[in-house]
Amino acid sequence: MTKSKKLDVFCEIPCLTEQSKKFRGVDLQKKWFKSADKRYIGQYLQKFINYNSKAFQFLGIQPYILGTDRNTELAFRSSEYIGAIPLRAPDTGKQIGDFVVMPRYGGRDRFEDYIEILNLIGTDISPEIIDSLPLASGKNFRPPLYLEAVKFIDLLEKLTMNPWKKFDNVEKISNQPCGQINWKKYINNEYKIENRLKFPVRSNVLSEFHSEYAEIRYVFDICKCELLSHNTPQRIKNNLRSKLIFLEERLYYHKPKVTKKIKIRFSDSPTVKACKEQANRILNFNLVDSTAWRVDFAEVFEKFIQYIFKEVAKETGGRLYSNFKFHSINSKHYSWELNHIEPDAIYQKENILVFIDAKYKSNLYNKYDQSEFLKEDHRHDLHQIMAYSSFSSTYFKFGFLCYPSNQIELKSIQYRNTINDVKNIIFILGIPLKKESLNEIKLLLINKFNEIEIISTTSK
């Protein structure tokens, strides 16, 4: 990171950080709150939290104050969101540096694993943006252009699979005076005998070679240039190279037409409309001020877990229900009641039901931490998965709690009801958010589901 970037960043931490490094109040006063009174630095830190509470809440940041008087310190806990927010100083109310939360990846590029997973699960999760002050770090900590370019290439591939024809109003020379004739142009040339029967006529021609396709081609050229540049990680380049060659061939006869915005029409099909909207995001990328943004990695993790268990279900002859709802059968509800509950996935094979819940939380990154937050989070997760597993009719009830982890790991927790001897077995599964770990995870789960089947069969 360059010196200029550092000056614009108040704090940068990974998501799922249980406790950031501690910032001494006196050091913050020297660098960021220069007109604050050192004697009351604790009050200024509380004022700083209050000033920026909405921004912290948007990014899922929990700030807390430690110590008293001149020994007061500030620390932060991050959640499942990544993104960036602008901050204000408590002494002047003026904008200072940005708070940045980045993915927990060790690779050279922050987003390459993220893109690989999104391509794998076949979904698109766009950054959520709110109105705020422009980020002090400008474009340095916003989602990079190649993220948007990858989405455009996927949409363009779908668009080129079907013919996109439109009526284009073109002018051509006809030897008959039919249609919409450009009489001014005709009068300027008709003094020559050989031009008397040459009429400049405008007509509508149905063709793929229309101006809107030419504008899409222009945006494709921008994306191709970005995706093959040094800004894009090598792994993403390698994955997209064949797709770019394919699209280059499909668009070979379309000449690019420079544009600042592609018009979206009411008559456009959903595929065309989605491609145009993404094209406009590409065209406006350098024009839009960088404001507060976030991406919910919990959603990415949930889709990834569903994808893994769906692949395992195919291998084991089972079936996976994603986001299956258990509806309340009561006709009247209190305003705070839940009309339904919804596990992330349910694996079914014959009479066996296994409930699966994905939790993008930091538990397996902090296995031996005594934090009350972690204990409370796990207690809530455990109660939730056991509530889901109560819908199974077998003596042995099974559930998976899936957490992100630095490495693949699996352990089980067993609970037994001594009244009726019902056992509830909860598996804690740690999964790295990396495509390269997929085969090992699948093999581990296939073996575990075979064991579950044996346990369920012998307990009958």
Dihedral, CA of residue 337, residue 340, residue 344 and residue 345, to nearest 10: 150
Q: What pLDDT does 3 receive?
A: 43
The amino acid present at 271, given as its one-letter code, is T
What pLDDT, on a 0 to 100 scale, did the predictor assign at position 108?
Answer: 53
Alpha-carbon gap, residue 247 to 105, rounded angstroms = 31
Residue numbers in the chain where pLDDT is lower than 70: 1-7, 105-112, 122-125, 138-143, 168-170, 179, 191, 286-289, 459-460
Predicted pLDDT at 5: 46
d(CA 319, CA 352) in angstroms, rounded, equals 11
pLDDT tens by residue, 25-47: 989 989 998 888 888 888 899 99
Give the single-character DSSP code of 435: G
Query: How do beta strands 396-404 and 345-349 pair?
Result: unpaired
Q: What's the pLDDT tens digit per position in 254-304?
A: 999 999 999 999 988 999 999 999 999 898 886 556 788 888 888 889 999
pLDDT of the residue at 125? 66
Separation of alpha carbons 367 and 457, rounded Å: 34
Q: Concatenated DSSP letters for 352-409?
A: EEEEEEE---SGGGSTT---HHHHHHHHHHHHHHHHHHTT--SSEEEEEEEEE-SS-E
* Domain 296-458 = CATH 3.30.420: no
Instruction: Report pLDDT for 192.
Output: 72
- CA 248 to CA 228: how far, in whole Å? 13
The candidate with the shortest Cα–Cα distance to 51, out of 20, 12, 22, 10, is 10
Summarize pLDDT for 157-208 with one digit per residue, the tens.
999 998 888 776 667 777 777 767 777 777 777 767 777 777 787 777 777 8
Which contiguous run of DSSP H or E holds residue 114?
Answer: helix 112-121
CA-wise closest residue to 105 among 168, 42, 15, 195: 15
Q: In this predicted structure, what is the pLDDT of residue 23?
A: 92
* Measured distance CA(362)–CA(298) in Å, rounded: 11
C-alpha of 152 from chain center: 15
Q: Which two tokens stand for residue 89?
A: 């100083």
> Domain ranges in the chain?
3-107, 143-165+208-289, 167-207, 296-458
Stated pTM of the model: 0.72
Q: Which long-range contacts (CB under 8 A, 24 or more apart) does 297-301 make?
A: 297/15, 297/80, 297/81, 297/82, 297/103, 297/360, 298/80, 298/358, 298/359, 298/360, 299/125, 300/114, 300/117, 300/118, 300/125, 300/360, 300/433, 301/80, 301/358, 301/360, 301/402, 301/404, 301/433
